Homo-oligomer: A and B are copies of this chain.
Amino acid sequence: MFRNQYDTDVTTWSPAGRLHQVEYAMEAVKQGSAAIGLRSKTHVVLAAVNKASSELSSHQKKLFKIDNHIGIAMAGLTADGRVLSRYMRSECINHKFVYESPLPVGRLVVQVADKAQVCTQRSWKRPYGVGLLVAGLDETGPHLYQNCPSGNYFEFHAFAIGSRSQAAKTYLERKFESFMDCSKEELVRHALHAVKESLQEEELSSANCGVAIVGVGEPFVILDSKTLQAYIESLEGAKDDQATKIEVEEERNPAVIERQDVSGGGGVGVGAEGEGPSDMET
């Protein structure tokens, strides 16, 4: 406990010009299970490591659909992430209603970042303890962003956050130059390779990871476990044949999304799809 007197209040600067509480919140992101994103000229793929809290529970939900053209993966406190994803959905709907066009991805990312910044400058709040990878497609093409607890955001070719994400990042750094021209299927396989790196001792399966895709002409979709399993098997067979053609089952489109609804497809069962609710990942 020989820390300092500047690190318990988010509105207190340290003599070195640092906000320790913001840095500690970013530590929470590093404790969450890994999330990975990567991008080609036409698609963005998100992947997440699912950590089951118990044999009895479904795995944690780490991937969320925000709008037809935007989705996120999160690492850290998912309760905090849910607050942000609810805000994102609401902004997308409002924009569509007012301007009759989808909200550009970069603009949404900035709005989320500004919401996070406010929590770093009020003494009665705390910074959000969650990192987001935002995948989206708009008029300027596919995008992959990261939102931090500090109120910062970054655009990436490919990136990984969360615990043991370094191995995944190394994979991505080695390969990312080839991603731009990948097909959707190749991109998914790269994502699964990266996830594998951060799993270490665990076997990759449709149960302990999730994958989502958004691309030109394709709305954001979280792969169902059958499709995902097919990809995983193709990965092991190192084959890229037709059999793995993706048959995505888009999530049911909730006609009316109310204020607090952030559950996406609330009716997706546990056993079959492997998409359980979210967990506190620290």
Which A residues contact B (CB, under 8 angstroms)? 1-22, 24-31, 53-58, 60, 76-80, 82-83, 86, 99, 104-107, 109-111, 113-114, 116-117, 119-127, 129, 138-141, 145-146, 148, 150-159, 169, 172-173, 176, 180, 256, 258, 260-263, 266-271, 276-280, 282
Contacts and interface: CB of A to CB of B under 8 A. Distances in A.
Contact of A266 (B31, B104, B258, B279): B104
A260 B110 contact: yes
Copies per assembly: 7
A79 B261 contact: no
A17 to B, nearest CB: 3
Nearest to A148: B280
Nearest to A157: B56
Given A79-B150, A173-B55, A122 B124 contact: yes
Given A3-B15, A122-B124, A267 B8 contact: no
A266 B105 contact: yes
**Top 10 A-B residue pairs of the complex, sorted by shortest distance between their CB atoms:** A106-B266, A140-B267, A79-B151, A17-B27, A17-B28, A13-B24, A11-B126, A123-B124, A79-B117, A111-B260
Nearest to A14: B24
Contacts of A261: 107, 110-111
A270 B114 contact: no
Nearest to A111: B260
A176 B111 CA distance: 39
A252 B65 CA distance: 29
Contacts of A24: 13-17
Given A125-B121, A139-B267, A5 B15 contact: no
Given A99-B256, A154-B57, A5 B1 contact: yes
Contact of A17 (B114, B129, B258): B129
A5 B3 contact: yes
Contacts of A82: 110, 113-114, 117, 151
A117 B80 contact: yes
Contacts of A28: 13, 17-18
Contacts of A83: 114, 117
